[in-house]
Structure 1
Amino acid sequence: MKNSRRTFLRKTTQNGLAILSAGSLTASPFDQLNNTTSGAKLPSSTIKPDHVVRSLPENMVWGYYGADVPPVAKVKDGDVVEIQTVNPSGVSRTNPEEFYTKNNLPIDQHAQEVIAILKNVKPEPSGIRGHMLTGPVYIDGASPGDSLEIRILDMTFPAPFGVNSVWPGGGGIPDEVKTRETFVYRYDMKRKTASLKEGIDIPLKPFMGVMALSPPADMGRQSSIPPNFYGGNLDIKHLTKGTTLHLPISVAGGLFTTGDGHGAQGNGEVSGVAIETAINLTVKFIVHKGKTLKQPRAETPTHFIAVGLDKDLNKAMKNALSEACAFIKEELGFTFNEALSIASTAVDFEVSQVVDQTLGVHAMIPKSIFSKKKFDYWT
């Protein structure tokens, strides 16, 4: 991490990029408002980033990625960047204040930012729909054929609640849901739990549902709903603080976009959504020149993660198995048959999600089984 102490300056005019550089924050109209429902300040990151990309309308894109989407920030290879995201789940565009008053939530700083975004950020003109996202961020030195290492340094909550919903036609059993209902999960930050109602306490394990680079220019703009080889809506719950995501770079600068924060999620995301929540994500970007990837890969302190995607869950499983075997063979030095044997005897295959058009399976490859190998890791 760099130790710059430059003054924070809004860069909304320079190069057309809405970005903050490290130091002290220039006040926005909302900065004097409290940002919690309890009156106590939520924990914030202790990491000093090189740049902050705020959750303001000019930094948001509604539901898509594309090589033609102008970056809102430009950073260097190796920079630490805080990217603020929002959660508009349950909030109406026509009357956004109603959600907060109905659920006894104050219209605080973060709520006002969500309201401003819903009133000012327009959907993609061609009809593409998806998540409310922050970005894209341009990384100097990132070129097609390289890969981007995204080290997840920290995640903090700018609001002490999240939202889950069920609706007819949605989720893993769409025909069985007869009515729409939205549930507000309130956070106990001391216990690090989320509660739907008394007696239901779910451990908070925040992660970003969407972390994506731009697809190649010839693919045009793509919805953020289905994941793909460039990342996106992977919904892998293991990508928490202290883990790493690797994505293939398809366009100059990579164009990293994120959103769809989750306070907690079970494998499968079977209602259609997790505990949807706002998260301030702090990452370090590292470009690996000439390191070409076909699919996303990830790493935790204890596991390597291979990813399989397809509209057919059976094919997604096969793809995850192929990716796991390829990783064990190419990166760890085994034959294909040995890799398949190892995958059968020691690797867990988990369903990431079954609700995002393109379905996901991820392979959890434990580092501990490779007793003669030493794996250096950054945490």
Structure 2
Amino acid sequence: MHTSRRTFLQKTTQNGLALLSTGSLTANSLDQLTTDTDQTAKLSATTSSAKPDYVVRSLPENMVYGYYGADVPPVAKVKDGDVVEIQTVNPSGVSRTNPEEFYTKNNLPIDQHAKEVIAIMKTVKSEPSGIRGHMLTGPIYIDGAQPGDSLEIRILDLTFPAGFGVNSVWPGGGGIPDAVTTRETFVYRYDAKRKMASLKEGVDIPLKPFMGVMALSPPADMGRQSSIPPNFFGGNLDIRHLVKGTTLHLPVSVPGGLFTTGDGHGAQGNGEVSGVAIETAITLTVKFIVHKGKALKQPRAETPTHFIAVGLDKDLSKAMKNALTEACAFIKDELGFTFNEALSIASTAVDFEVSQVVDQTLGVHAMIPKSIFTKKKFDYWS
């Protein structure tokens, strides 16, 4: 899976130009390219509006199947402050033995993106020790990031390279595992104009794309870790508020940070209660900013309207307690209140939401509204 920097840059140059060349297409011209029934082709023509310094393609050599680790070779090395476009894939419903079958069975085109997914499923190997998880792109080495720093990840854009997503239910999975008796996979088709995902006639879900997994490497002494449970270094947080224009902050544990992402979601309710969201391929464009000496214990996030504190644990009640602890610490340390004042503010103005209940380690996030702090001004990039 290791790709030299030279090889990576060559492939970026060769393949990235074709991708970026569609950026001049307007919404009207996209409509003219296809009929209203061909939403897959319509959405596959969209690209990010943010111009990247680097493009990491969804090629087999740039993928890692289900894990992070300090020993995983980076597929790219970028600078502090660089804008990076990262292509991810969604193999949900696609088998390793006959990956083409999923597309033909569901009347989906085997276009360039589908061919990349098929190649990935046929060639990218699982972790030898048996660790399982998501199909991920990375890792990416950020020059200057060192243990004890934090990495700011500005989410500049999220676009769909394919016009559909997949949700599934299965026995033993989700929030009510004993209630599910049969496995079933649902294909949600996207309407680019209306920005909706349709399960069937009369059921339209607003598309609000975000990445389920955004992680840095765990410390070297933790070895390789599965991408399924989230942790202090990020990972499968499944916080649906991390859409375009928001920010994630993660603690750096190894030189270069080693950022890895995947598990794109077209839409998800808090809880992710079936076990998965609308699983989808997403092209993520981010800006990496290293904060020297800014140590974090847990992930933090920010939107134009809220600060987000994160609590994680295998026990949901403990995850809630951890989220409250993190929220109070943020209000106290970052905003200048006493602990008792912070707890009072958390009780009267902060919403605590269940991120997900299905990823072994469960998540609760605290939504701290900026608007209540009327004497403070919060500058924000988006």
Which TM-score applies when normalising by structure 1? 0.93
2:308 to 305, 308, 328: 305
- The one-letter amino acid paired with 1:339 is A
Give the whole-Å Cα distance in 2 for the aligned partners of 1:263 and 1:326.
Answer: 32
2:61 aligns with: 58
2:176 to 173, 192, 209: 173
1:147 to 147, 150, 153: 150
Percent of aligned pairs with the same residue?
84
* Higher mean C-alpha displacement, 35-44 vs 297-306: 35-44
Give the whole-Å Cα distance in 1 for the aligned partners of 2:10 and 2:153.
Answer: 19
1:122 aligns with: 125
Residues 371 and 23 of structure 1, relative CA distance in 2, 3 Å threshold: farther
Matched, 1:240 2:213: no
1:224 aligns with: 227
- The one-letter amino acid paired with 1:318 is K
Q: How does 1:153-168 map to 2 (within 5 A)?
A: 153-168=156-171
- The one-letter amino acid paired with 1:343 is A
1:6 aligns with: none
Residue 127 of structure 2 aligns to a residue in which SS? Answer: coil
Give the whole-Å Cα distance in 2 for the aligned partners of 1:219 and 1:266.
Answer: 32
Give the whole-Å Cα distance in 2 for the aligned partners of 1:79 and 1:166.
Answer: 39
Tell me the CA shift for residue 16 of structure 1: 6.2
Matched, 1:25 2:16: yes
1:330 aligns with: 333
Contact 1:183/1:196 (CA < 8 Å) preserved in 2? yes
1:187 aligns with: 190
2:26 aligns with: none
Which TM-score applies when normalising by structure 2? 0.92
- The one-letter amino acid paired with 1:69 is V
1:270 aligns with: 273
Give the whole-Å Cα distance in 1 for the aligned partners of 2:16 and 2:379.
Answer: 36
Residues 54 and 24 of structure 1, relative CA distance in 2, 3 Å threshold: closer
Give the whole-Å Cα distance in 2 for the aligned partners of 1:285 and 1:136.
Answer: 13
Tell me the CA shift for residue 37 of structure 1: 5.6
Deviations 1:280-324 (A, max 9, x none): 000000000000000000000000000000000000000000000
2:201 aligns with: 198
- The one-letter amino acid paired with 1:111 is A
Matched, 1:261 2:264: yes
Matched, 1:99 2:90: no
1:42 to 25, 40, 45: 45
Deviations 1:136-189 (A, max 9, x none): 000000000000000000000000000000000000000000000000000001
Residue 129 of structure 1 aligns to a residue in which SS? Answer: coil
Residues 23 and 298 of structure 1, relative CA distance in 2, 3 Å threshold: farther
Matched, 1:376 2:379: yes
Residue 25 of structure 1 aligns to a residue in which SS? Answer: helix
Q: How does 1:339-354 map to 2 (within 5 A)?
A: 339-354=342-357
Residue 117 of structure 1 aligns to a residue in which SS? Answer: helix
Residue 98 of structure 1 aligns to a residue in which SS? Answer: helix
Q: Point out 4+ residue stretches in structure 1 off by more than 6 angstroms.
A: none
Tell me the CA shift for residue 39 of structure 1: 3.9
Residue 366 of structure 2 aligns to a residue in which SS? Answer: strand
1:356 aligns with: 359
Tell me the CA shift for residue 47 of structure 1: 1.3
1:317 to 311, 317, 320: 320
Contact 1:20/1:51 (CA < 8 Å) preserved in 2? no
Unaligned runs of 5+ in 2: 23-32
Deviations 1:37-93 (A, max 9, x none): 654353211211000000000000000000000000000000000000000000010
Contact 2:5/2:75 (CA < 8 Å) preserved in 1? no
Contact 2:169/2:180 (CA < 8 Å) preserved in 1? yes
Give the superposed CA RMSD.
1.9
Q: Which has the higher helix share?
A: 2
Contact 2:148/2:252 (CA < 8 Å) preserved in 1? yes
Give the whole-Å Cα distance in 2 for the aligned partners of 1:282 and 1:15.
Answer: 21
- The one-letter amino acid paired with 1:63 is G
- The one-letter amino acid paired with 1:168 is P
* Higher mean C-alpha displacement, 147-156 vs 36-45: 36-45
2:210 aligns with: 207
Give the whole-Å Cα distance in 1 for the aligned partners of 2:312 and 2:339.
Answer: 21
Tell me the CA shift for residue 19 of structure 1: 7.0
Residues 23 and 96 of structure 1, relative CA distance in 2, 3 Å threshold: closer
Residues 298 and 368 of structure 1, relative CA distance in 2, 3 Å threshold: same
2:29 aligns with: none
Give the whole-Å Cα distance in 1 for the aligned partners of 2:69 and 2:3.
Answer: 21
Contact 2:4/2:75 (CA < 8 Å) preserved in 1? no
Residue 16 of structure 2 aligns to a residue in which SS? Answer: coil
Contact 1:350/1:362 (CA < 8 Å) preserved in 2? yes
Unaligned runs of 5+ in 1: 1-10
